[in-house]
Structure formats: C-alpha cells, structure tokens
Structure 1
Amino acid sequence: MDFVALDFETANSSRGSVCSIGLVEYEKGKLKKEYYRLVKPKQNYFAGINVSIHGITKDDVADEPEFDVLWESEIRELLEGKFLVAHNAQFDMSVLRAVLDQYNLPYPMLAYNCTVNISKKTWALPRYKLNVVSDYLGIELDHHHALDDARASAQILLKAAQELRANNVKELVDKTNTTNGMMFDTSYEPAKLNKRRQAKKQAESFVAATSEHDTTHLFYNTSIVFTGKLDVMKREEAIQRIVDLGGKWQRNVEASTNYLIVGNATFRDYTNGKRNSQLERAETLLAQGHSVEIISESDFLKYL
C-alpha cells in the first residue's frame, strides 16, 4: 500500500494562508517518511479563530520560509506523481490549489482520495470527523497538529484496507465505491463518494401537492440545492416545501441553480472559511458570472 497522507493548517479564512503542513509517506504498507514544517503565509495575518484551533501564531512563523520556497526545495518531490489521502480532502486539496495559485506555481500530477469518504463506506458511525473516527479506531490524535492529523488519516486508510481486505489502494477504492480525484497542469477533478441508484430514485420522486402556486413567491419557478444538515426539518420535507411552492429541486449546484440553501452548522463553517463541494461549485459559478445565491437555513425559513 503506497500513499502519502497530507494535512494543512491555515492562518485565516483564506485557503492560501498555509501556516503548517504535515506529510506521512507509506511504502508497501510501511512508514517511510514523516515531514512537518511551519510556513510563513504570504499575507502574514493570523485570525484569532484559527489560532484558537491550531495554536500557531504570527511570531511562531516569523523566521520560517514561505510556501513557494519549501515547494521548490522540499515539498514538490514528496507529492509529485504520488497517491495522496487526506481527511476531508476537499479542504486540503483546495488549500494546495490556492497556495500554488497564489505563487503562480503549476499543479503537480497526482491522484488523491478522501478518508472521510472511505470511512463512510467502511464503518457505520454517527459522524465522520477526524477525531470521531480516530476515537472509534483507537488512534491517538493531537487534533489540528498537521503532522498528527496526517498520521491519523494514514492510519484510517490502513485500517479501512484491513477491514475490507484490500491489498492495495486500487482494491480499496473499488471496494469503497469511491472515485479518486486528480490534479494536473492547471486543473483538477474532485474525489467523489459514489451514491447508490436507489437513493437517487427516491429523491427524485417529489411531486407538488397542487398545480396552483403563488407566482409572487421568492421560490416560485426557481431551482434550489440544499447542502448540510437542516436543524428545523428533514431534507425531504424541505424539498417538498420547495416543490409545493412551484420550485425545482436539484441534487447538485449547476449553472441553472438560483439558490443554494445551507444548513446552519455548515453555514457557520462557511463563514469561517470551510467550503464543501457544493459551496465551492457555487463560488466558481459566481466568479463566472452566474447568479447563484447562497443563503443560510435561517434565512430560508424566513423566506418560506
């Protein structure tokens, strides 16, 4: 089992504000190398909330090199052409893209997957945060230390392979029905958790209770996507409410999407700089000039 586990910590809500990086490399299932460095962000600003999470301050990185220096001298050779994993890889890979973009550096060629997705297909747990999965598997964790988080992600991958009797990364990906992401040149493809067809059919069976709609309602004749767990009602109920108002529910954010409704907890994460794939897609479309409006669950309830 050959792979590199990766984790970043950032100084503020900007994805490019890398302040530490941890890497753990395994070769044939054995630990080969560990790497940890503090990094001085290009815009050396540390937000209080980030400091409270990882404990790294502006003074800690004052004499450390910036990412571009470390990339050329140390990091690139550890990642180029490798298979990477990270827990919530969507975040860590977006950080890597953002910091490379910041310094106008080309993307490395690599494949990656997410140990959150792999965990979901291996164990039935109430949540799949790194500390929850680590606790379940008996993995010691100094959470939000980049090297320790990378170590934990590596252990999760190895334990999933053991649980599913997968002899290599390809077998593990096949058995968990996940799809690897890719980075190449100046582009990328996200890692995915493949859904079952049965769930898709069930979700697409919503029918409006009436053909008479209030055409002045905000959600009439609009396309809406939900992301994150809703506090007040189940996702299915919220979708039905939209359909009854003459709106259209979409599974994923597209160019035709009018509103992305974000559960309260996910919206709080979003305001702190954490974006899931739906939010990233919405921001990409906004940057391209499309009119996708991101609204919180609280505002959604007011509009209802």
Structure 2
Amino acid sequence: MNFIALDFETANRERSSVCSIGIVEYDNEEIVQEYYRLVQPKNNYFAPINIQVHGITPEDVADADTFDILWEREIKQMVEGKLVVAHNAPFDIGVLRAVLDAYQLPYPMLAYNCTVNIAKKTWDLPKYKLNVVADHLGFAFHHHHALEDAKASAFILLEAKKELGAVNLKDLIEKTGTTNGMIFDGGYEPARINKRKKARKSTGHTFAAATKEINHNHPYAGCTIAFTGRLNGLKRQDAVEQIKRAGAVWHPQIESTTNYVVVGSKTYDNYLNGEKTTKLERAEQLLSQGASIEILPETVFMNELNKNATV
C-alpha cells in the first residue's frame, strides 16, 4: 500500500493560516519518508485558542519559510499524483486548497480519503476523533503535532486494512464503502462515505453472548472494565462479549467507577517504557485522586477470565 498521510496545524480561524505541516510517506506499508516543517503564516497572526491547541507561537515561526516557498521547493513533489489520507480530510484538504488560493498557486492533481470515514466503517466507537481512535488501537502519540497526527492517521488506515482483511487500498475502500475525493487544477471532488453500506469484514469465529448464561460467580462479576490497545488474543467485540458473560460491564472510556483497565500486549510493553495512551493517562490521573483502578496486561486478564469461565 503506497500513500501519503498529511496533517496541518493553523495559526488562527483562517484555513490558509498554516503554521506547521506533517507528512509521512508509505511504500508497501513501510515508512519511507517523514517530513515536518514550521510555516510562517501571512501576517504571522496567531489566535490564543490555536496556540493553546498546538503550542506554536509567532516567535517559533519567525524565521520559518512561508508556505509558497515550501510548496514549490519541497511539498508539491511529495503529494502530487499520490493518494493522500488525513483524519478529518475535509479540514486538511480544505486547508491545502485555502493556502494555495491565498498564494495564487494552482492545485495539484491528487486523490484523498478520510480516516474518520474509514474508522466509522471499521470500529464501533463512541467518538471518532483522532485521539479516541488512536487510543482504541493502542497508538501513543503527541496530539496536535502535525507529524505525529499524520503518523496516527496512517496507523489507523493500516489497522483498518488488517481488521477488515483487505488485500490493498482499493479493497479497503470497497469494503468500507468510502469514495476517494480528488483535487485538481481548477476544482475538487469531496471524499464520501456510503452511510447505508456496512463494512464487509473477513469471516471468522465470533462469540454469541446470547447462547451463554452469565456467570454471576466469576471474579469479574459486577466489575467495570475498559480496554486500551489492540488485543492479540481476539477481536475487541469478542472480548466485550466474554466479559459480559462473566457478569462484568464494559465501558468505552475510563471513569472513576472503572475497576480494571486491560491493556493490549504491545501497548503494555510501550507503557512499561513510559509511553501512555490517553486512557492510561486518564487511569493514572484517577488513581492519583483515589480511584480504585487496576491496570492489567492482556495476558493476565485473559488468563483469569478463561480460568474462571465455568465457575
């Protein structure tokens, strides 16, 4: 799968006010190039609310190039003729169009898709913000840093491909019922999502909760459980069905009433090395405030769950 993941940060409410750009290029699902630049917007005006979001100030970009210079020198050749993905692509592609218009530069020819749309067709989540989806998948990153956000968007795309058993990008787009958008010299076509089409996942064994009675004697009975990170042993929905049969309650978010946070194996290894998902940060915050939350690696949790399955 060859594609570009792109993210912009802006200085104020004007979409043309680019103050940073992050690009990550993938070839055969491997990163071949990372690109990050601070950008000096026109008039170098930064709204306080934007600074609060990304932390970039006028002083940070005082010596940075303007977008038109970077576009002609570096960016155009990276994106032209490529498939570009972004999380909330209407915003990022809108920023690209706006800043090109501001400098009276022609649009490149490129196709694009939105990982918000792809995520909606792949996972059942309460929200589909970048940090929420990334946290669900156990991807730790610095939110609102353009390169980090671009990497997160790319990760979501690749994880959706795995989840749905897609063989390539074309197959993923077909399975999710999404449609690529286009921009070209003189115009654009928006990326779309077929709301009535459900994602077609690869067939496999799933657990039917309705065929099992709830085990009210299970050690997890009555507990509230949340997950973070990708589980190795089984799909997230299957894990949810298992804990329901154990008499436990699944919550998509970490709350003060949460009893256990179950962490996928890879995410738990990262956690031991100091990398924390949003949910793990929230759990630690609640722990510091006196909440009774236990953070468990997936293996420990699943062993206990399966050991007591027939109690």
- Short-chain TM bin: 0.5 to 0.7
- 1:36 corresponds to: 36
| Shift of residue 197, structure 1, vs aligned partner | 7.8
1:70 equivalent in alignment to 2:70: yes
SS at match of 2:57: coil
Letter in 1 for 2:134: S
- 2:14 corresponds to: 14
1:135 equivalent in alignment to 2:135: yes
Q: Is the 8 A contact 1:41 1:67 kept in 2?
A: yes
- 1:168 corresponds to: 168
List per-residue Cα deviations over 1:155-212 (Å, max 9, x = no partner).
00000001111121111100000011000112000101112189xxxxxxxxxxxxxx
| Shift of residue 43, structure 1, vs aligned partner | 2.3
SS at match of 2:43: coil
Counterpart Cα distance in 1 of 2:94 and 2:181: 12
- 2:263 corresponds to: none
Counterpart Cα distance in 1 of 2:161 and 2:197: 25
Identity of aligned residues (%): 67
Letter in 1 for 2:126: P
Q: Is the 8 A contact 1:18 1:99 kept in 2?
A: yes
- Matches of residues 79-228 of structure 1 in structure 2 within 5 Å? 79-196=79-196
Question: Structure 1: which 5+ runs fail to align?
Answer: 199-304
Question: Structure 2: which 5+ runs fail to align?
Answer: 199-311
Counterpart Cα distance in 2 of 1:104 and 1:53: 28
Counterpart Cα distance in 2 of 1:129 and 1:195: 18
Counterpart Cα distance in 2 of 1:32 and 1:68: 24
| Shift of residue 15, structure 1, vs aligned partner | 0.2
Counterpart Cα distance in 2 of 1:197 and 1:5: 25
For these two proteins, the number of residue pairs brought into alignment is 198
Counterpart Cα distance in 1 of 2:6 and 2:187: 19
Counterpart Cα distance in 2 of 1:167 and 1:27: 15
Q: Is the 8 A contact 2:177 2:197 kept in 1?
A: no
User: Which stretch has the larger CA shift, 112-121 or 189-198?
Assistant: 189-198
- 1:209 corresponds to: none
- Matches of residues 241-260 of structure 1 in structure 2 within 5 Å? none
Counterpart Cα distance in 1 of 2:72 and 2:35: 15
TM-score by length of 2: 0.63
Counterpart Cα distance in 2 of 1:180 and 1:96: 16
Counterpart Cα distance in 1 of 2:197 and 2:144: 36
Counterpart Cα distance in 1 of 2:148 and 2:29: 18
Q: Is the 8 A contact 1:17 1:43 kept in 2?
A: no
Counterpart Cα distance in 1 of 2:167 and 2:22: 25
Q: CA RMSD in A?
A: 1.1
List per-residue Cα deviations over 1:71-104 (Å, max 9, x = no partner).
0000000100000000000100000000000000
User: Which consecutive aligned stretches of 4+ in structure 1 deviate over 3 angstroms post-superposition?
Assistant: none
Letter in 2 for 1:181: G
Counterpart Cα distance in 2 of 1:43 and 1:188: 28
Q: Is the 8 A contact 1:6 1:150 kept in 2?
A: yes
SS at match of 2:42: coil
SS at match of 1:65: coil
Letter in 1 for 2:23: L
TM-score by length of 1: 0.64
Counterpart Cα distance in 2 of 1:117 and 1:183: 18
- 1:27 corresponds to: 27
